[in-house]
């Protein structure tokens, strides 16, 4: 803009281009920040994990066990399997990510007569090791039931299952007396 009209127009255009460049760079930075926030939210939504399953959904009472060996229980009726962490074919829940999980197991059996030596009992396993167990055999009535509820830190890939020990048996029908439930309280990774 020092010498003639032509240079002044060129100078003004360069200033305008510079302002537009700053505006677009600022807008791009804001969009990138929003994209990062959105990716974080979506990652948290995708990593949500919750399952709740029951032993069976048959209308007639079915009993399982006792067996000669400990057996993993395969819960066949699925209420919810958010994140697809529970495998109905194996009865195993695989933690999709590290975090604190709430786990609950409720067991019920109908022993048929007072004095029966069998019991409603299970073991809650993490990676094949018992972390909690429940056993109810009061021999005062026909039904036995027990519940395990706990919060536990799991690492991504940890396997959680319920074991039916020797000498134990469970009965269930469409009332869903025997359930296995777990969900991620909060992630730790």
Query: CATH assignment of 48-187, given 2.60.40.150, 2.40.50.140, 2.60.120.40, 1.20.120.80?
Result: 2.60.120.40
Residue bearing tokens 């926030």: 37
Residue 118 has pLDDT above 70, yes or no: no
pLDDT score, position 130: 93
pLDDT digits (tens, 9 = 90+) for 130-155: 998 876 555 555 567 788 999 999 99
Structural tokens at position 102: 């709430």
The answer, yes or no, to whether residue 112 has pLDDT greater than 70, is no
Over residues 84-111, the mean pLDDT reads 92
Would you give the DSSP letter of residue 168?
B
Instruction: Write down the pLDDT at residue 128.
Output: 95
CB contact set of 96 (below 8 Å; sequence gap of 6+) = 47, 49, 83, 85, 156, 184
Confidence (pLDDT) at 40:
75
Helix (H) or strand (E) holding 179: strand 179-187
What does the mean pLDDT of the chain come to? 84
- pTM, rounded to two decimals: 0.72
- Least confident stretch, 27-31, 57-61, 115-119, 152-156: 115-119
pLDDT at 113: 42
Rounded distance between C-alpha atoms, residue 33 and residue 12, angstroms: 32
Percentage of the chain exceeding pLDDT 70: 83
Asked if residue 94 has pLDDT above 50, the reply is yes
Neighbouring-strand partners of residue 100: 153, 186
- Number of residues that make up the chain: 189
Comparison of pLDDT for 176 and 13, the residue scoring more: 176
Strands (E) in 43-90, as ranges, are 50-54, 62-64, 71-72, 77-82, 86-87
Q: Minimum mean pLDDT among 23-37, 49-63, 111-125, 126-140: which range?
A: 111-125
**φ, ψ for residue 180, nearest 5 deg:** -135, 120
pLDDT score at 114: 44
What is the pLDDT at residue 168? 85
Residue 167 — very low, low, confident or very high, per pLDDT cuts 50/70/90?
A: confident
Taking 90 as the threshold, does the pLDDT of residue 100 lie above it?
Answer: yes
Tens of pLDDT, residue by residue over 72-82, are 999 999 999 99
């Amino acid at each position: 803009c020092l010498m003639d009209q032509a240079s002044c127009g060129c100078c003004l255009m360069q200033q305008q281009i510079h302002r537009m460049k700053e505006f677009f760079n600022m807008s791009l930075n804001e969009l990138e920040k929003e994209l990062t926030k959105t990716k974080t939210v979506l990652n948290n939504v995708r990593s949500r994990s919750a399952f709740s399953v029951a032993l069976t959904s048959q209308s007639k009472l079915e009993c399982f066990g006792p067996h000669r060996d400990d057996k993993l229980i395969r819960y066949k009726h699925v209420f919810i399997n958010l994140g697809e962490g529970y495998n109905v074919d194996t009865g195993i829940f695989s933690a999709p990510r590290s975090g604190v999980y709430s786990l609950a197991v409720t067991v019920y059996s109908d022993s048929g007569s007072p004095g029966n030596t069998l019991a409603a009992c299970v073991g809650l396993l993490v990676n094949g090791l018992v972390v909690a167990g429940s056993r109810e055999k009061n021999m005062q009535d026909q039904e036995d039931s027990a519940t395990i509820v706990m919060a536990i830190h799991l690492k991504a890939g940890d396997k959680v299952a319920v074991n039916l020990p020797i000498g134990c048996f469970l009965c269930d029908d469409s009332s869903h007396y025997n359930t296995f439930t777990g969900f991620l309280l909060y992630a730790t990774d």
